[in-house]
Structures are given as C-alpha cells and as structure tokens.
Structure 1
Amino acid sequence: MHYEAMKSNASYGAMAIVQLAYGGANILMKIALEKGLNQLVFVVYRHIIAMLLLGPFAYVLERKNRPPLSFSVIAKIFLLSSLGTTIHLNVYYAGLAYTSPTVASALSNVIPSLTFLIAVILRMETLNIASVRGQAKVLGTLICIGGALTFTFWKGRYLFKGFVHRPLIIICSTNSCELKHGKDNWIKGAALILTSHIAWSAWLILQAVVYKVYPARLSLNTLICFFASLQSFFLALFFARNLDLWKLEWNMQLLTILYSGVVISALVYYLQTWCISNKGPVFAAMFSPLLLIIVGIFSAIAFAERLHLGSLVGASLIIAGLYCVLWAKRRDNLVIGQPDDEKGFDDHKMQEISINETEMNSVTNETK
C-alpha cells in the first residue's frame, strides 16, 4: 500500500515536471525566435539531436522485436513526420513569432476536441449522440472550438495593468513588440497555431494506424526524427540558404536547441510514457491546463504581459470544453470496464486518440 501511494504521488510530480518542461520550451523558443533563430534550422538541429539520443536505445532495446520495414510502412512514417513535425512545428513556430507563449499554451488545449472531430469525420470514432457521453463529447468539442475562436479574434480590454511595470526579460524594443503583436498579427499568429494543431491532431490519428503495423516505439520515433530533419533541411535549402543561420554559438539559440532536443525529446518522452503506462491517458490529459497557468504567470512577470478580457474568456471556454471531452471519455472507460487509471498503452482502440496530445506525444516530442 505504501509503495502504491508513493507511485501515485510520483505520477503527479512527473506530470507537473512535464508541463513545466513544455512551458520552458515555449518561453525559450519565443526568446530564441526574437533573437534571430530560424525555425527551419531549429527543427533540423532539434531532431538530429533527438535521433542521435534515441537511435542507440532503439537499436539495443528493440533489435529482437522490431518488425521489418516495407515501402508502405516507410511511406506512412514519412507522412507521419510531415504532419506531426515538419508541418506542425514550422507552422507553430511561425505563429509563435507573432503572438505570445501564453496564447500558444492556451490554444494547445483544443487538440483533444480537434482530434475527436477529425476522427468522427473520418468515421474512425463512433459517436452515440443519443447518450449523455456522446452529447458531452459534442458539446465539449463545440465549446473548445468556440473558445479558440474567442481567444483568437476578441482581445477586449486589459483586465489589469500587469504584475510588473517593466519586463524583467526584454526580448525586443517596445515599439517593435507593439507592431509585431498588434491585432492583425495577433490574429495571424493564433490562426497559424490553430492550423498547426489541426496537423497535430491528424498526426495523432495517423499514428494510431502506423503503430499497429510498426509497434516499435523507439524505432518509430527515431525514424520520425530522421525524416523530420530531412524534410526541414530540404525546405531550408529554399528558405534558409544563408549559412550564418546555421552557425551555432554559445547563446540563447543554442540553449533552446539543446533544451528541446534533450529535455523535450528525451526526458519528457520517458516521463510521459511512464505516467501513461501506469495511470492512463486520461490522467495525463488532466494536467494539460497547467501549462497555460505556468506560462501565463511567467509571462506576466518576466515579459510584463497583460491579460485581455477575450483571452480570459476564451481560455476558460477551452478548458471547460476540454474537461467535457475528458469526462465523456472517462465514462466510456467505465462503461467498457476499463478503470480510469489502467495502463494506457494496452487499448489500441481509436477512441484513445481523442484524449489529448499527451497520449500519443510519448512517441515524439512536442510544445509545444
């Protein structure tokens, strides 16, 4: 009993660390982008680091049970890399350049609802609209999407002057920040981030299909990182041909690359895998809004970021919609006799993909 209690407490601590790590990645990436880091160069370096870290483990631990690679499987993994890394990350960071880490963290909570909506459209998720659970899923999805639209298009007045009068960390001049984070660019940035999350949701669905034919997580992740670095390098030949963009020096850009490659793609990968395998994907998903709180508080103090009325209303709607979907999924598990904290990797039903990006995010990096 004492061991189980310690294990349960460790799961709570691990998921809190996961959200702190993602929050740090959002903040570091925002600073690095303002300092001149090219997003294509970043994606290439980040996934090369992750590939070099995970490759040896994949080779040693999965050499006996790794299935053979066919052309069909390679094509699926290539498409998987395009959606979940090349498109998702590059569009996401393009949006982050126009808005704040708080906005990016808030909009990440729409992923469960977007994934569920895409799965229903593709008829990969069954929906019983006559049941309370089905109605809760639909209502949660609509509330989430409505909250995202509110967050994107309605700024409203400021609710407070800010925790500090002047930012503790200055990443750009006041005039350039106001110009770049104006209403038009705010909408552009939020729209790009939402688009990236649509690609990520499609990645979740495709990943469930690919994993069934290639159930070697470490090897799959290594191949995804390989194709992601290759794809982004190809794009960089057209959009980042300046060799100065590829130079690595001891600065914030290098710190961001190392942090994302090592912490997000290695440490967070392990912690999420461990938590989901012990407590289930619903447990991991419950910590998703913590990212918004962490980044919001840090941004308010370090960057003197001010909260808009539309931001507060939109974020509240997104979180409310998220928990509607999570509640419905938890009821689904109880109906089919699967406890809420049962191991999350044992169930390969497509319903599992509608929980949260943290459920399948254990195969790759990500916050965003």
Structure 2
Amino acid sequence: MEGCIYYVAMILVQLAYGGSSVLVKLSLEEGLKPVVFVVYRHVMAMFLLGPFAYVLERKQRPALSLSVAAKVFVLALFGTTIHLNVYYAGLTYTSPTVACALSNVVPSLTFLMAVLFRMEKLKIKSVRGQAKVVGTLLCIGGSLIFTFWKGGYLFRGLVERPLIHAYNTELKHGKENWIKGSALILTSHIVWSSWLILQAVVSKVYPAPLSLTTMICFFASLQSSFVAFFFARDQASWRLESNLQLLTIVYSGVVSSALVYYLQTWCISHKGPVFTAMFSPLQVIIVAMFSAVAFAERLPFGSLIGALLIIVGLYCFLWGKKKDDLVAELTENEKGVLDDKVLAISMNDIKVTNPVTTERK
C-alpha cells in the first residue's frame, strides 16, 4: 500500500500539469506575458510554502551552506527560469496537445542521463532491464505517432460544439510557427530532464523537500524578475486583464509550483528521477481528452494508437522498475542475514577460545 502512494502522487502531478497547460494557453491567447506569469506564480508559491517549511521542517532542515545554496540556484535556473520561459514561448505557437505530446522525450532523456551518471542501474541481459528499455522506446514511439499521425479520424468528435471558444489551432498555428514552437518546447524539455537529474543530487545533500521547494521558488522569482526587466518593462504587461489570467496565476502558483514541485521533490528523493519522468506520457492523454471535450478537437486514429502504446510502454517500464526494487531489497536482506551469521560465528569463536586462554594462564 505504501508503494502505491508514489504512483498516485505522480498521476496527480500529471493531472495538475495537464490543467496548467490548458489554462496557460488560454491566458496567453488573452495577452498574458509569459515572463510576467512565471514571476507571479513563483512569488505566490514562495509565500504559500514558506510558513509550512519553517514550521514543519525546523528540526530536520540541515544548515544551508554556500555550496548547497549555489546548487539550489542552478536548480531554479534549469527547472523554472529557463524551462518555463522557453516552454511558454513555444506554447504560443502550438496547441496544448502538441506541447504535451512533445514532453514525452523527457523519459528517454532522463533515463539516458541517469544511466550515464550511474544513478539508474541497467542490466540489459535481464528481463527487467529489457522491459525498461522496451517501455521507454514504446513511450517515445507512441508520442511520435500521437503527434504526427494526423490522417484518418476515428471519431467525428466527442462533442458537436466546443464548450470553450478559445482558439483555432488549424488557422493560427501554421507550419512555420508549429516548427518554431516545437523546437522551443523540445529545448525546454531537454533542460527539464537535466533538472530531474540535478534534483536527485540536491535532495540527497538537503533532505528537506518543503524548504528546498521554497528556496527554488525564491531563486526562480529573482531570476525571472531579472528576465522580465528586459522583456516586460512597460507597466501594462504586469496588469491582469481578466479573471481567467488571475485564475491561471493562482492555480499555477498553488498547484503547479507549490504542490507539484513538492510532490516531485518527494518522489525523486525516494524513487529516483527516472521513475518521476516516466509518468510524463500520461499528460498528453489527459490534455487530449480535455481538449476533445472542451474545444471539440477531433482525435485522429493515430492518437488512439499512440495513447495505447504510451500506456503499454509505461506499464513495461514500471514493471521493470518494480522488479529492480525487489531485487535490490532482497540483496540488502541477504546481506543483512550474512552479516548476522558472520557476527554469530565470530562470537562463537570468542567463546571457544576464551577458556583455552584462561587455562594457559
């Protein structure tokens, strides 16, 4: 039952990210500046998490050294400032469905980095190792099919009329803009994969998830404010023109930055960066289903095939990962039993040799 908590947490993370992608896209269409939005959401998250981190982790929070502060600064630079600003810039040229589909490069990149840095063990000759590789490849292949196979609509649409009239993807996002947006989003996901690896390293030297998340939001606010100084100098860019923009900032600050960052930090510290990254493919399915209902987007046959491959690939990888954890646990138990036996034998030897020594004296 305890192991299921990590799975539930990561599914909630992807649900939160899916909702954020749709809300942010709608707000960007209404004129919300991406750099301003990044500042607002992290300032809100910092003030929300700060009191909880101070009260709940005052006994377990280690001293903050200059080395740890520098690592957290780089962590904020990669995971928030660069990743989010580049991602939102690319989102202005594409639809949320395409943006989320491209996020499926994250598992493979994170898995490759983790193997190279020896943070993830891969025994390719074992069945569990092959399952992890096959699962990663299926997720990548499924996301590519989901994104690029546009012919042959299986359904006319889940709804006849859109519930939300927001934007027309086919008219506004031309081929040139689609390529530009895709390139920006792919760049942001490469940076995000690096963040997941670095997060695992920092979590070991600073095992206080709430305090670490608060510091990430603090540094992200400073860094994003510096970026906004160059790209959003006019006061009009900082005004919120609609309730939707306010809702997006509140949702992103409370859910996407505060809650999600904490859950990710917590899961990475217990299960590793690759486990966290492998749930990214669920986001594209969540957003696609929502877009099909809310925006009346038609789902082609390729989307169904791609979604099935993503689910199968995710299951294969998680199965292999679970087997790895079981093998590691059994190895530790056997080592503990062996150590106990060696200790028992040593104690028996002492009991046997002591009488002899006494008699000789």
1:43 is the counterpart of 2:38 = yes
Contact 2:142 2:306 survives alignment (8 Å) = yes
> Which ranges of structure 1 fall in alignment gaps of 5 or more residues?
339-368
Structure 1 distance, partners of 2:205, 2:40, is 29
Q: TM-score, normalised by structure 1?
A: 0.77
> How far did residue 285 of structure 1 move?
8.2
Structure 2 distance, partners of 1:220, 1:271, is 12
* Identity rate, percent: 72
CA RMSD of aligned residues (A): 3.4
12 and 137 in structure 1: CA distance in 2 versus 1, 3 angstrom threshold: closer
Give, as a single letter, the amino acid of the residue that structure 2 aligns with 1:40: V
1:248 is the counterpart of 2:240 = yes
> Which residue of the partner structure matches residue 138 of structure 1?
133
1:295 is the counterpart of 2:287 = yes
Structure 2 distance, partners of 1:73, 1:276, is 17
Structure 1 distance, partners of 2:138, 2:8, is 30
3-state DSSP of counterpart to 1:337: helix
85 and 102 in structure 1: CA distance in 2 versus 1, 3 angstrom threshold: same
1:203 is the counterpart of 2:192 = no
1:98 is the counterpart of 2:90 = no
Give, as a single letter, the amino acid of the residue that structure 2 aligns with 1:34: E
Give, as a single letter, the amino acid of the residue that structure 1 aligns with 2:222: L
Give, as a single letter, the amino acid of the residue that structure 2 aligns with 1:320: V
Structure 2 distance, partners of 1:214, 1:273, is 11
Structure 1 distance, partners of 2:187, 2:151, is 23
Structure 2 distance, partners of 1:144, 1:127, is 18
Structure 2 distance, partners of 1:319, 1:127, is 22
121 and 149 in structure 1: CA distance in 2 versus 1, 3 angstrom threshold: farther
Question: Counterparts of 1:323-342 in structure 2 under 5 Å?
Answer: 323-337=315-329
After TM superposition, the structure 1 stretch with the greater mean CA deviation from structure 2, 314-323 or 116-125, is 314-323
After TM superposition, the structure 1 stretch with the greater mean CA deviation from structure 2, 68-77 or 102-111, is 102-111
> Which ranges of structure 2 fall in alignment gaps of 5 or more residues?
331-361
Give, as a single letter, the amino acid of the residue that structure 1 aligns with 2:110: T
132 and 296 in structure 1: CA distance in 2 versus 1, 3 angstrom threshold: same
Contact 1:143 1:321 survives alignment (8 Å) = yes
> Which residue of the partner structure matches residue 117 of structure 1?
112
Question: Counterparts of 1:299-314 in structure 2 under 5 Å?
Answer: 299-314=291-306
> Which residue of the partner structure matches residue 126 of structure 1?
121
Q: TM-score, normalised by structure 2?
A: 0.78
> How far did residue 123 of structure 1 move?
3.6
268 and 87 in structure 1: CA distance in 2 versus 1, 3 angstrom threshold: closer
After TM superposition, the structure 1 stretch with the greater mean CA deviation from structure 2, 53-62 or 77-86, is 53-62
CA deviations 1:223-247 (Å, max 9, x no partner) are 1001111111111122222221111
Q: Number of aligned pairs?
A: 331
Contact 2:104 2:140 survives alignment (8 Å) = no
